[in-house]
Chains A and B, each alone.
Chain A
Amino acid sequence: MTWRWRRRAGAATFVMRATALVVVACTFACVLLASRPAHAFPWMIREGYTGCNTCHADPSGAGILTAYGRGMEEVVLRMPYKKDADPGKLGNFAWSVDLPEQLLLQTDFRNLALVLFPSGSSAQFQDVLMQLDQSAQLKLGRFRMNGSIGYSPPSVANGEFTGGGLGATLTDAPGQYGALVARQYWLGLDIGKDEEFLLRAGRINVPFGVRTIEHPFLVRQVTRTDIDKGQQHGVSLAYTGEKVRGEIMAIAGNFAISPDAFRERGGSGFFEWMPSNKVAVGASALITHADQARTDYDASLAPAPIWRHAYAVHARISPVKPLVILAEFDALLNSQLVAGNAENHAGVVALLQADVQVYQGIHVLAAGEVYNGHIGETSTYDTTTATAWLGAWWFFAPHFDFRIDGVYSSGSAPGLPPSAQGTSLLAQIHGYL
């Protein structure tokens, strides 16, 4: 049995309705010339922002920005060209449009030019349209409707140009005309005096570890908790306070894939304690079960039912304003019953990242990761993959940023293509309305 992109009549109806709702919301907003945008920068702790929901609609970070988040992007993120300048409406949707406070809108474009230097073979060039999404949130009283819809183009020229977010397609895998992508869509209810709780149901980012925009990080890929395509359908409850925050999620499965045997069900959650506005430490846990392991994702797994465990501790620390240290250590366990015999594979994956803001708007990032999914085993899988990142990021204009990265990986890991082994040079540009 192999997994494939989902196409089922019942789910398709649900998807069509959700899509229609989002489209109606977007149209409504555009007609009224109203709006807002989204990203995932855990290093914003340098500015004293320990939580995420001041700037993001998602209380655990990433995705569409609030009006305040748009403003902060201009005030503290973008390179300033005039000291203490009030950005005014520059952060607004389309740089100037005042949206009703109930409505958030964001149009994202992100393109990646990638040169791979795989070990033992010639260089390969790829251009990836990573993101072409329209996101929206409509909030009426304490009720929220939030979603994104995007387009992933078909692969052409032997894969030299391709789309992204394919784990979040609403339709089948991109064919002749590409695919619709919906990373998130959920209904939410704000609870509490200060709306410190948010109850959500829908397709949601899985709450686990450091939520970061670098979705290829091993800690995100191995645990399948990235914000590019790792979302799951389910119900979650998030809390954000001054000293603690967290989110727990009951996972019903990723209905973008089929058959049902490949869908993981279980739970995930994280807890974070912020003893000061420059220090946050947390812990996460994820336990899921699927009737059929994704051997395409991890070739070391057997085509059998699987319990997947991940437990993490993480920290975000800004000892001085220019520097933010992010660290995450995950313990992994894949447990399978194969022909009546238990097969348990223990592993670890760890991340250490330093973000240095050399000047407002200019960041230098360095990161290192190690992964071993078969600790203590003598099989061919008992190897450690180490990666090293070095990048520079320039928030050069309102709503625009440009980034280059050099990545070296000694091997591959679950969720990454074999071509990940070797050196990669990446250049990406991102813009949003």
Chain B
Amino acid sequence: MKRSRLAFAALLAATTFAITADAKITRTGTPQVAFHASGPAGMRIIGQTNDLDVDDQGGKIVIKVPLRNLHTGIDLRDHHMRDKYLQVGSYPNAELTVDRGAIHMPNGDGTVSGDATGSMAIHGHTKNVNFHYTVARVGGQLRVGGTTQLDIRDYGIDIPSYLGVTVKPDIDVEVQFTASE
């Protein structure tokens, strides 16, 4: 009887591990996505959106950011950004596709951070990017943060310029979201 209980417990543990390994990640809460661009002599532009979806495809994780609601605080600038430069009518999303194995997850509660490479698709162009990530498991929740730097010229986006002020092509991107397994 005792041996059979131990065997059941071992089977349960093994099953639980397998479920965890195959558990799909689902976004929860309100994500935060921001880009930081700069212009000449100290000019800073910060764009933000709370739209982000996580599509766990098993072997790959796709993080999709709809760009329609990206805003910088000035309506006309948003209009130019979305319609003239990002052309969100034709290219509505920015997508980062990452091999699941490239991301290290904490065992139990804890935090893991690291660098990884993924495939970034923006404006109809796809390019591999390096990014830094942090995953913290708190209870049943994963708190995920990531940063990367992009050169908008790699994605066929014209360098924004308005009345003699031209934005630098390098932008910093920062993403934070929570997810459950």
10 tightest A-B CB contacts, nearest first: A240-B42, A51-B42, A71-B163, A68-B163, A68-B165, A67-B163, A240-B41, A67-B164, A54-B43, A75-B76
Q: Does B73 contact A (CB under 8 A)?
A: yes
Cβ 8 A contact of A53, one of B38, B42, B73, B77: B42
Residues of A within 8 A of B163 (CB): 66-68, 70-71, 91
Task: Please pick, from B40, B74, B164, the residue contacting A194 in the complex, using a CB distance under 8 A.
Answer: B40
Would B162 and A68 count as touching, CB distance under 8 A? yes
| A241 close to B42 (CB less than 8 A) | yes
Are A54 and B74 CB-contacts (below 8 A) given A242-B38, A277-B46? no
**Cβ of A101 and Cβ of B164 under 8 Å apart?**
yes
Closest to B45 in A: A48
Q: Which residues of B contact A242 (CB under 8 A)?
A: 38, 42-44
User: In the complex, how many angstroms separate the beta carbon of B70 from the nearest chain A beta carbon?
Assistant: 15
Q: Specify which chain A residues have a CB less than 8 angstroms from the CB of B162 in the assembled complex.
A: 68, 71
Decide if the interface of chain B is mainly helix, strand, loop or mixed.
mixed
Given A54-B165, A71-B162, A101-B164, are A194 and B41 also a contact pair (CB < 8 Å)? yes
21 A-B contact pairs sorted by A residue (CB < 8 Å): A47-B73, A47-B74, A48-B44, A50-B42, A51-B41, A51-B43, A53-B42, A54-B40, A71-B163, A75-B74, A75-B76, A75-B77, A76-B74, A84-B76, A84-B79, A86-B76, A241-B41, A242-B42, A242-B43, A242-B44, A321-B73
User: Which chain B positions have C-beta within 8 A of A321?
Assistant: 73
Which chain B residues have a beta carbon within 8 Å of chain A's beta carbons?
Answer: 38-46, 72-77, 79, 162-165
Closest partner residue, chain B, to A69 (CB atom): B163
Given A54-B41, A84-B79, A194-B41, decide whether A68 and B164 contact each other with a Cβ distance below 8 A: yes
Contact with B along A46-85 (1 / 0, CB 8 A): 0111110110000100000011101100011000000111
> Is the CB–CB distance between B41 and A196 below 8 Å?
yes
Whether A183 is near chain B, meaning CB under 8 Å from some CB there, is: no
Tell me how far the C-beta of B89 lies from the nearest C-beta in chain A, rounded to whole angstroms: 16
Tell me the complex Cα distance, A195–B42, Å: 10
A283-338 interface with B by 8 A CB criterion: 321
Q: A59-B41, A68-B162, A242-B42 are in contact. List 15 more A-B contacts (CB 8 A).
A: A48-B73, A49-B43, A50-B44, A51-B43, A67-B163, A68-B164, A75-B76, A75-B77, A194-B41, A196-B42, A240-B41, A241-B42, A242-B43, A242-B44, A321-B73
